[in-house]
A and B are shown apart, each in its own frame.
Chain A
């Protein structure tokens, strides 16, 4: 089955800096890669996703890139703000109708 590895487990940046979180996956058939943000005491919330037919997607300060050959994808947050502090999870799914497999998460801390 699918296995998703996520790095780093913790990331501390200064406000205004960029943050990058990387994930690798094992199943070359995977074709959907979402990112979720979890704030304290809440459930994870979808922030951006990418499908296998595109290499990059951007939404304001966040972007996701996908390299299918290397089987890795990354989340990029620019101009970080304290409210970006949270746990971020990457996930992969190889087909519609199957459950997402998540990475172990990255705790991002943005200090002002």
Chain B
């Protein structure tokens, strides 16, 4: 069974700081997705990456997929309170989506 480990588990930072969160898989990803979940809501897709070494940018968020397709990172530049939430990575290549345990980010104003 594939296991997705995310680190750190919790992160509390000041507005304006940069941060990186990580997702590591016990096996090669079929395809990787990152979701953000705000309190009381369901997760919302941020990005999908498929190719090893791929880098995608979404405004202040930069997503990197490892060359071996077993790890990924999410870097946020100049974090804002609106970035607060639970960040989840997922393997989305089959019908049996597998999610990581998440990184809970709090950005303080």
Q: Are A and B associated in one complex?
A: no
User: Measuring CB to CB, which residues of chain A are less than 8 angstroms from any residue of chain B?
Assistant: none
User: Measuring CB to CB, which residues of chain B are less than 8 angstroms from any residue of chain A?
Assistant: none
